[in-house]
Structure 1
Amino acid sequence: MRWITHLDGGPKRVNHAAVAVGHKVYSFGGYCTGEDSKAYISMDVHVLNTSTFRWTKHPVSDLPYFENDDILPYKRYGHTAVVYEDKVYIWGGRNDRASDGVLFCFDTTWHCWTAPKTTGAIPLPRDGHTACLWKHYMIIFGGYEEETDSFADSVYALDLKKMVWSHFRTEGCTPSLRDFHTAVCINNRMYLFGGRGDSILLGQEFYCNMLWFLDLENCRWVKPEVTGEVPIGRRSHSAFVYNKKMYIFGGYNNLEEKHFNDMYEYDPQTSRWSVVHTVGDKPCERRRQACVLVGDRLFLFGGTRYLKNLSMCCLLDYKISSPQIPYLREPQEDKLIDHCDLYILDFKPTLRSLCILTVRKHKLDESVLPNTLRMDIMNMFTSNKITISRPNKSAG
């Protein structure tokens, strides 16, 4: 398990939603510190070709948006995305004016937006929730509802064949209410970890590190007994599934005032947590990034962190890549740094990949190599030429 490359110059996005369709990663919305998040503009879409590691901005990003448009989604953060039959379904999220409860669909074949009409028990708009694909259902849990000014306490399912919402009536002891948690489906269970909630007894934010799963066939919540190295409670982390095991990365705990860049593995067969030890230069601490698995590789990009968490080495690197940021000369602890980088974690590095790393590490002569191999080396070590998002001019 090895971090094989780190490239700058991608979309500078925080709290975005991203999914994989074939060999491409689609990233939807999110924000960049300093942008006008109150303005209604259409949601931008960035596409990563995981064969060449090149980002492009999709043309639909520049379509004109009209307020109350029922076809184009306005730009937002805290939303979710799932893939079903090569179509991406976006639900929830908000900007600084309102939250949204309209379902949108992005067709990766015809490259267009639609807003499928849904019926049934439609959930209230929210952000900071999770969405998982189980069979042909999109399962929604948690998040924060603007209308009720409270954490959502119900599970909803959208039948993506019939476009009908239903309210899951669950049994068993339920997990505490929360937002910005993670949820993944393994077999017929939805595993839930982390998030931010309110502690009635303490009267402050609460970060739970208990693991829960929802038996989706029996609609029953279960809190399994876990062993091993249990991660500290956190929010705005990432979770993904590889070989029927759940992995989490990064996140933030406000009570500890700490960002994380650790990775943990949870094995449902043994109900055991363990720290994942990787080789290579790993990402710096961050939250609200995206982690998308394509084959045996994890693509991690975006996110944010406080300036006070930056090491001097990372700070110098950031100054070199982003000379437009004047306040880096006089660090202030409450400033946020948004990332436009891409990290790739290879669970099963091939001999070809290892040879490429060796060639660069030892500065061997690349001119004698075949053109295809030289192209792979260039892609692996050349940043995207243009930072797609505008420079971060304000801490917000």
Structure 2
Amino acid sequence: MLRWAVHLEGGPRRVNHAAVAVGHKVYSFGGYCSGEDYETLRQIDVHVFNAVSLRWIKLPPVWTNSRDHVREVPYMRYGHSAVLIDDTVYIWGGRNDTEGACNVLYAFDVNTHKWFTPKVSGMVPGARDGHSACVLGKSMFIFGGYEQLADCFSNDIHKLDTTNMMWTLISAKGTPARWRDFHSATIIGTKMYVFGGRADRFGPFHSNNEIYCNRIKVFDTETNSWLDSPPTPVLPEGRRSHSAFSYNGELYVFGGYNARLNRHFHDLWKFNPVSLSWRKIEPKGKGPCPRRRQCCCRVGDKIILFGGTSPSPEEGMGDEFDLMDHSDLYILDFSPSLKTLCKLAVIQYSLDQSCLPHDIRYCVPCREVIPRVLPVLGVLQPWLRAAWGLLWHCAASGRAGLETTAEADVQWSCSSPGHCVRAFSQCIPLVCYRWELSAMTTNSTISRPIVSSQG
């Protein structure tokens, strides 16, 4: 049951940033925000989101004691890429309005939080932004982007082998994908699936005749060949600055922007690489507003989506210049637990919290998150009574230090709803108070998880 399960506010306000998932954490690098000073050259900032505690932190800047050390830390930028190989994040490309585009490879150790610049060889790609980067094994593949020196879109594929730090320009066979930037490239198996992006009708040079391709282009990394994909009857609209990720061997695309249609998107599409077919997906819950330039990372069965920009509400859905940058975060859950589903059911029915102990109600400022208990539980439907009971059972088991499983939760039932309410009132800090307070950020900005309740 695919569902938008969590909505947080108060995180870093970022656009055109880059992020990777490392275990249960998401590392976000750089980007920009309207109104901030980008004329002064400074280090790239790093924010870390903990998907368990639902907290953001900002890593302190790196102290640099020499000119050479300064060169090892990337400057603040946007339109760059970030990939994770082993315990190292590789940052490449991107641009800054002061320094322009960059083609230096930077590396960030997730264990020590130290930056370094690996010594590379081979044919280094030209400086660019708006490219894509994806990983297969120990290699990073760079495709497309807008090259600064040539002042044009690219459709080259470059490969970095991190075992020897050698760059290679791949001589690809077949009909290549069009020159483009701000597209997505996703590895599934040994193939790279390229979707969307901004191109020009007349070729690699930008003539303000933009086109937005909505056909998938497939690159086989084993044969270094572009493969032809047959047309399909159902296709998403072409777009740029969207998000793409893979789950269970299928490709998902969210959001983006099409300048020809003057439209931002917040739709979710799934592409099956076996049947070569698209299908629009409608998750439960209230999802993000239409946007582009956001980041999206997968943590287990959850997709963490945050940031980006949207047209201001009074300007409609497409205005290019009057945009509103976001500091929010959404979690799309492919496999929500019974506990999560029961929380959502309780919240949806706006249960009263007046019978809860005073100290608990005092510590719970957000009524959107904490369920409220009806004085007379008997008026609830049986499955809602079971939801209360199940939440109490999970909380009590957690208090006792027990590991609750979905199977055990299903087999457990409550024969005394009144007892469950009293017991749940005692245990509610475990399931709700911790859920509420865990989202405080280190800079005193409260980032509360607002659990979606709309279907």
TM-score (norm 2): 0.76
Q: 1:360 aligned to 2:347?
A: yes
- Contact 1:82 1:131 (C-alpha < 8 Å) held by counterparts: yes
Choose which of 185, 192, 195 in structure 1 pairs with 2:194. Answer: 192
The letter for the 2-side match of 1:369 is C
The aligned residue for residue 290 of structure 1 is 295
What secondary structure sits across from 1:93 in the alignment? strand
Q: CA deviation at 1:111?
A: 1.1
- Contact 1:211 1:223 (C-alpha < 8 Å) held by counterparts: no
Q: 1:264 aligned to 2:264?
A: no
- Contact 2:198 2:212 (C-alpha < 8 Å) held by counterparts: yes
- Contact 2:155 2:176 (C-alpha < 8 Å) held by counterparts: no
Choose which of 227, 244, 257 in structure 2 pairs with 1:239. Answer: 244
Distance 1:204 1:6, change over 3 A: same
Choose which of 176, 179, 187 in structure 2 pairs with 1:177. Answer: 179
Point out where structure 2 has 5 or more consecutive residues left out of the alignment.
351-370, 374-423, 447-455
What is the aligned residue count? 369
The aligned residue for residue 277 of structure 1 is 282
Q: CA deviation at 1:151?
A: 1.1
The letter for the 1-side match of 2:172 is T
The aligned residue for residue 432 of structure 2 is 374
- Contact 1:44 1:61 (C-alpha < 8 Å) held by counterparts: no
Choose which of 102, 105, 108 in structure 2 pairs with 1:106. Answer: 108
Choose which of 229, 232, 246 in structure 2 pairs with 1:224. Answer: 229
Separation in 2, partners of 1:147, 1:91: 16
- Aligned pairs (5 A) from 1:302-381: 302-308=307-313, 334-361=321-348, 362=350, 363-365=371-373, 367-378=425-436
Distance 1:379 1:191, change over 3 A: farther
Separation in 2, partners of 1:2, 1:300: 13
- Contact 1:94 1:100 (C-alpha < 8 Å) held by counterparts: yes
Choose which of 199, 207, 213 in structure 2 pairs with 1:208. Answer: 213
The aligned residue for residue 29 of structure 1 is 30
What secondary structure sits across from 1:373 in the alignment? helix
The letter for the 1-side match of 2:140 is M
Separation in 1, partners of 2:320, 2:27: 33
Separation in 1, partners of 2:88, 2:68: 25
Q: CA deviation at 1:110?
A: 0.9
Q: CA deviation at 1:19?
A: 0.6
The aligned residue for residue 163 of structure 2 is 161
Q: For residues 181-227 of structure 1, what are the alpha-carbon distances to aligned partners after superposition, in whole Å with 9 as ceiling and x for unaligned? A: 00000000000000001111996111111110100000000131143
Separation in 2, partners of 1:59, 1:279: 38
Choose which of 252, 258, 263 in structure 2 pairs with 1:253. Answer: 258
Q: CA deviation at 1:17?
A: 0.2
Separation in 1, partners of 2:250, 2:128: 28
Q: Structure 1 residue runs of 4+, over 6 Å off?
A: 61-68, 309-312
Choose which of 110, 120, 123 in structure 2 pairs with 1:121. Answer: 123
Separation in 2, partners of 1:222, 1:308: 42
What secondary structure sits across from 2:21 in the alignment? strand
Structure with a larger share of its residues in strand = 1
The aligned residue for residue 139 of structure 2 is 137
Separation in 1, partners of 2:270, 2:44: 33
Q: CA deviation at 1:333?
A: 8.3
The letter for the 1-side match of 2:88 is K
Q: CA deviation at 1:358?
A: 2.7
What secondary structure sits across from 1:132 in the alignment? strand
What secondary structure sits across from 1:139 in the alignment? strand
TM-score (norm 1): 0.87
Point out where structure 1 has 5 or more consecutive residues left out of the alignment.
313-331, 389-396
What secondary structure sits across from 1:372 in the alignment? helix
Deviates more, 1:370-379 or 1:26-35: 370-379
What secondary structure sits across from 1:368 in the alignment? helix
The aligned residue for residue 323 of structure 1 is none
Structure with a larger share of its residues in helix = 2
Q: CA RMSD in A?
A: 2.4
Q: CA deviation at 1:34?
A: 1.6
- Contact 1:116 1:163 (C-alpha < 8 Å) held by counterparts: yes
Separation in 1, partners of 2:278, 2:287: 20
- Contact 1:14 1:289 (C-alpha < 8 Å) held by counterparts: yes
Separation in 1, partners of 2:72, 2:295: 25
Greater Rg over alpha carbons, structure: 2
Separation in 1, partners of 2:97, 2:320: 24
Separation in 2, partners of 1:63, 1:280: 46
What secondary structure sits across from 2:425 in the alignment? coil
What secondary structure sits across from 2:244 in the alignment? strand
Q: CA deviation at 1:91?
A: 0.3
Q: CA deviation at 1:336?
A: 1.2
Q: CA deviation at 1:371?
A: 4.0
Distance 1:228 1:386, change over 3 A: farther
**Which is bigger in relative contact order (C-alpha 8 A, separation at least 6)?**
1
Q: CA deviation at 1:354?
A: 1.2
Q: CA deviation at 1:24?
A: 0.3
What secondary structure sits across from 1:369 in the alignment? helix
Q: For residues 3-58 of structure 1, what are the alpha-carbon distances to aligned partners after superposition, in whole Å with 9 as ceiling and x for unaligned? A: 11211000000000001001100000000012222321000000000001110001
The aligned residue for residue 327 of structure 1 is none
- Contact 2:64 2:70 (C-alpha < 8 Å) held by counterparts: no
